[in-house]
Structure formats: structure tokens, C-alpha cells
Amino acid sequence: MFDQIIQEIERQGFSICPHLLSSQEVSEANEFFLRHSTEFQAALVGPETGKKRVEDIRGDFTLWLATDNAPREFRKLFEFLNELKSELNKRLFLGLRDYEAHLARYPVGSFYTLHLDRHEKKSTRVVSFVFYLNEEWKDGEGGELILYDKNNVEILRLPPEPGTFICFLSEEFPHEVKVATRERRSLTGWIHSIQLS
């Protein structure tokens, strides 16, 4: 598993594990989404000093998770991330220290336009990752993650299928989330080169 991820990151800068999570794990994650639906907050855009809601840029709602004391439903995902972090350090010397993660809910009709996860100079994001948590996703329902190369040529179009995992180098790939006809659920985060407080 980690061999393949390491090789793909080294070769192409991103790696996909189709259906990494079992349907049981995805279904428990969904129950968590339902129980905590009122705690999600509208995701904002802009600089730290002037963040605002702009649904024409991103329309998702997020709930940050504590990574040191994760809810039971996500403990296995976080163990996987801890292992991924140490394998990436051991074999690719990425100097990863810590990660942060939130659940994301994209209501029907919402999207996230083209952006880079490591946009600001001071950003310490090195690896971006997403676990897709919908229990079902059919062709034609949209919601794909699209990765572009540095010349804005599309290189990957990934539908958010149940339990699929992707990670990619935050600096390398502008990307966007297409509009969907079904609520789109994920656990999304970033591994940083510093210890987060």
C-alpha cells in the first residue's frame, strides 16, 4: 500500500487509492456527518485578516477535527495518515511534521473553483489529502476533483467515490471541485512541515 503511494508521489506527485475504506467505515463516517450536521461552518476565503464567504469561489461547509483525540469514526484514517507521514519522511525526506484535517460537506449545487492549496509564501502545507466519504456516487453526479499541471492542462479527473483516497503535493497542482447533483462529503487535510499548535 505505502510502497505504491511512495512510488506514485515520486513519479507523478499524486497518488490515488481507490476504495481504501470499507463500506462499513464509510457508513460510520456518514452517521457522524448526520449527528454533527449543525456544527459545520461555512468555509471562508481570503487573507487571515479579512476572510469572507464567497460562494462563487467555494460553497462547502467544514468541521475541523482534533487529530490527537479523533472521534472514534476517524481513528483508523488518522492512524493511516500518521503512517503515511512517516513513510513519506523515511523514503522521500519530505520533512513532514504534523497534519490538520476537516470534514467537508458540499451541498447540492456547490463547488470550489481553481486554486492552489499552498498559495501564500508562508504556507507550510506540503501534502494535501482527501478521503471521499459518500456511500454512493454515480456517473453523471459531478463533484469530480480535477488536477491541473503548472500549465493548467488537466491531468486527472477523479469522481468522489466511496472510500477513495488521494494525496498530492500541495505546491504542484492547481485543482478544483466541480459542482455536484448530490451532497458531497469528504475528510480533507494537509500535512505540514511544522508542528501545528
**Binder of residue 145, out of ligand OGA, Mn ion, none (CB less than 5 to 8 A by kind):** ligand OGA
> In sequence order, what E strands does 20-174 have?
41-42, 61-65, 98-106, 112-115, 125-132, 145-148, 154-158, 165-169
Stretch that binds Mn ion, among 52-60, 78-86, 113-121, 129-137 (CB under 5 A): 113-121
Contact 185, 130 (CB under 8 A): no
Nearest to 161 by CA among 37, 59, 26: 26
**Binder of residue 103, out of Mn ion, ligand OGA, none (CB less than 5 to 8 A by kind):** none
Please tell me the distance from the alpha carbon of residue 87 to that of residue 128, in angstroms, as a whole number.
Answer: 15
Please tell me the distance from the alpha carbon of residue 53 to that of residue 21, in angstroms, as a whole number.
Answer: 32
Contact 148, 155 (CB under 8 A): yes
Given 32, 33, 61, 112, the residue binding ligand OGA (CB under 6 A) = 112
Residue 111, interface with ligand OGA (CB under 6 A)? no
Upper half-sphere CA count for residue 72 (Cβ side, 13 Å): 3
Please tell me the distance from the alpha carbon of residue 14 to that of residue 46, in angstroms, as a whole number.
Answer: 26
> Residue 148 CB, nearest distance to ligand OGA (Å)?
12
Per-residue contact string for residues 2-41; x = within reach of ligand OGA by CB under 6 A? ----------------------------------------
Contact 192, 48 (CB under 8 A): no
Per-residue contact string for residues 60-99; x = within reach of Mn ion by CB under 5 A? ----------------------------------------
Residue 134, interface with ligand OGA (CB under 6 A)? no
Residue 170, interface with ligand OGA (CB under 6 A)? no
Cβ count within 10 A of residue 60:
22
Per CB under 6 A, contacts with ligand OGA among 51-110 are: 104
- DSSP-derived letter for residue 64 is E
Residue 175, interface with ligand OGA (CB under 6 A)? yes
Given 101, 133, 145, 147, the residue binding ligand OGA (CB under 6 A) = 145
> Residue 140 CB, nearest distance to ligand OGA (Å)?
18
Binding positions for Mn ion, rule: CB under 5 A: 117
Binding positions for ligand OGA, rule: CB under 6 A: 104, 112, 117, 130, 145, 175, 177, 186, 188
